[in-house]
Amino acid sequence: MRCKLFFFLVYGWVCNLFAQTSASNLLIPNIVRGPYLQIGTANSMILKWRTDVNCDSKVWYGTSISTITNQITNASLLTDHEIKITNLNPSTFYYYMIGTSSTTLLTASAGQTFKTSPVIGTKGKYRFWAVGDAGTGNVTEKTGFLNYIGSNHIDGWLWLGDNAYNSGFDSEYQTSVFANNTYATELKKFVVWPAPGNHDYNNNIPFSPPPAYLDIFTLPTLGEAGGLSSGTEKYYSYNYGNIHFVVLDSYSVPRGVTDPMAVWLQNDLAANNAAWTIAYFHHPPYTKGTHDSDNPNFLDGELPEIRQNIIPILENNGVDVVINGHSHVYERSFLVDGYYGTSSQLSPSMIKNNTSGNYPSSCPYQKQTLINKAHKGTVYAVVGCSGQTGVTASGWPHPVMYSYNNILLGSMLVEVNDNRLDAKFITSNSAVYDGFTIVKNAGKKTTVNICQGQNAVLKPSWPEPVYWFPIGTTLDSAIVSPPFSTTYFAYDPNSCIKDTFVVNVTPNNVPPCNITALPNYDPALEVSVYPTMIRNKNEAFTIRTFSGAKIEHVKVLDIQGIAIDIYSNEQPMNELNIYFKNEPQNGTYFLELIIDNKMIHKKIIFNK
């Protein structure tokens, strides 16, 4: 009897389980979160989304909306889905759809696309959107920003912390971030690179659940997007083109100079050779907004610790811009360096440039970093007003700030074009309230040598149409063909930056302009010319080819192009010592070499 009863109990349990499983399989899942984009690289992208029931995962993708034929499937039954697409092309737009192995849940649309990153180090024009303390559900700043940029693509979306109020719970992320009336549309096409804030950790209130932040986002821990492996999603780095980004956790990890985050930061920046470096994290080193960076107590203790321990590392490694949230205001500093104290300890020597940097209303901030990038100046911006504003602290405005406002909602647009960076604070009504420009390593002197009648293409050392003197035109480059040596100047509209171009013109009857190459001339042939090691009254030089090519003929020409010595080898060899038949005068000479039936020209200077 017991055996029969046991059989019927087990049989009933199996049938019930089968019925539940079959019913689940018959349900068509609904997408309740996402999709959203993570860890974009030059060759890969991660797509994440959530469904209301367990199901497998499938992504279709392609480079046009009509050819979405590539596909990836994950057979695991999940509600939180994550698919990594690999083997993509750099700087390429892809359209995508998501669903299950049996049905499409999200069909193709023009706004459902992502763009892969450029190859690391590539120069270009890139745009980034920084929002701080935006997780309130108030999206008026979003509307203003998107109206301002129009159809331009955003290459990265920087979240400055406090991404979901009030406690960073999963349910608050759902209503304040992923809901259709907040950021759902933008999350489908802009890659999010978040930093955590104190509200993302529920202010470390005892017995709080684990932070949803670490489950919702997939962030680089192994340097997979550039930078050094951090081993944690709490702080990390990544590269985009010629820019290196550093993202820190300013709240939940120790901030001492010997603690793991600071040690990783020093090592990461020491290995960084990008043209630009931008750091962002939640707690600002300087503010007099709704928080006070002079306040060392438990409410604002992170701020002085960041200023004293982390900022020296950033400045010593040439970080150009630091962006923060936390304080629900807008604040933007001068170009500063070496300022690690309270507001009363700011001295004029710590301000590298006391102008606005708001180009073209005034001159841009300029930095020369080719030899040494340390301590050339950093701009600090607090953009904690994307979701709310508030009452300021005593001492407002902070003395290091050039621009400040505690009323306007807004976010920041950061544009990098080669060696120029522009940052603008865009308000909820699409106005530019403030901005600054940094130009690096501009204002150069360049020498160009041409033959008479040839063209020289002159380009300024920064990306902008410039005024050319004495040409008298404003263009982003100039093509000149002067009849004699001429000096040209390129100026920005405010004459803040000047390039000098010395164009030397050689007459066509003077070497090397009177030398005509053979049809099979090969400029890449490697030839070395150096003084001979054998001492002799009429010694000259040694010619050597490193590729094994044979030297057949040598002609020595003086500065007027007249041949003074000619050598022909019956048995060509790859190394030849040349002796002048008559002792030459000091001066410049030209060698015309025939090597493996290829003509090469070299200039030598003879000085006894």
* DSSP helix/strand/coil, 601: strand
| Closest among 309, 306, 285 to 380, alpha carbons compared | 285
Instruction: Say if CB 191 and CB 158 are below 8 A apart.
Output: no
pLDDT at 524 (0 to 100): 46
Portion of the chain with pLDDT greater than 70, in percent: 89
pLDDT at 537 over 60: no
Give the span between the Cα atoms of 560 and 512, in whole angstroms. 10
φ, ψ of residue 363 in degrees (nearest 5): -70, 150
Give the span between the Cα atoms of 457 and 464, in whole angstroms. 15
φ, ψ of residue 279 in degrees (nearest 5): -115, 140
The CATH architecture to which 120-440 belongs is 4-Layer Sandwich (3.60)
Cis peptide before 470 (omega within 30 of 0): yes
Q: How confident is the model at residue 551 (pLDDT cuts 50, 70, 90)?
A: confident
Instruction: Say if CB 292 and CB 342 are below 8 A apart.
Output: no
Sign (positive or negative) of CA dihedral 102, 106, 110, 113: negative
Instruction: Say if CB 326 and CB 161 are below 8 A apart.
Output: yes
- The CATH fold of domain 23-114: Immunoglobulin-like (2.60.40)
End-to-end CA distance of the chain: 119
Residue 315 host element (H or E): helix 311-316
Sign (positive or negative) of CA dihedral 218, 223, 226, 227: positive
In tens, the pLDDT along 559-578 reads 667 777 777 766 777 777 77
Instruction: Say if CB 592 and CB 552 are below 8 A apart.
Output: no
In tens, the pLDDT along 403-460 reads 999 999 999 999 999 999 999 999 999 999 999 999 999 999 999 999 999 999 999 9
In tens, the pLDDT along 183-242 reads 999 999 999 999 999 999 999 999 889 999 999 999 999 999 999 999 999 999 999 999
Give the span between the Cα atoms of 550 and 304, in whole angstroms. 69
In tens, the pLDDT along 317-358 reads 999 999 999 999 999 999 999 999 999 999 999 999 999 999
Sorted by where each begins, the domain ranges of the chain are 23-114, 120-440, 445-506, 527-606
Q: Does domain 527-606 have CATH number 3.20.20.70?
A: no
Q: In 309-419, at which residue ranges do the beta strands (DSSP E only) sit?
A: 321-324, 330-333, 335-336, 351-353, 365-367, 379-383, 401-405, 410-417
What is the residue type of 319?
V
pLDDT at 258 over 90: yes
Q: How confident is the model at residue 556 (pLDDT cuts 50, 70, 90)?
A: confident
| Structure-derived torsion over alpha carbons of residues 182, 187, 188, 189, reported in degrees to the nearest 10 | 120
Q: How confident is the model at residue 582 (pLDDT cuts 50, 70, 90)?
A: low
Q: In 195-288, at which residue ranges do the beta strands (DSSP E only) sit?
A: 236-240, 243-247, 276-280
pLDDT at 36 over 90: yes
pLDDT at 539 (0 to 100): 57
Cis peptide before 360 (omega within 30 of 0): yes
pLDDT at 13 over 90: no
- Dig out the tokens for 175 from the structure: 């209503």
Q: Considering only the top CATH level, what class is 445-506? A: mainly beta
Asked whether this chain's domains 23-114 and 445-506 adopt the same fold, the reply is yes
Task: Please give the biggest Cα pair distance in the chain.
Answer: 125
* DSSP helix/strand/coil, 393: coil
| Closest among 555, 567, 544, 559 to 599, alpha carbons compared | 555
Q: Looking at residues 152-177, what average pLDDT do you find?
A: 97
In sequence order, what are the residues at sequence separation of 6 or more whose Cβ sits closer than 8 angstroms to the Cβ of residue 185?
111
pLDDT at 12 over 60: no
pLDDT at 515 (0 to 100): 62
pTM of the full predicted structure?
Answer: 0.83
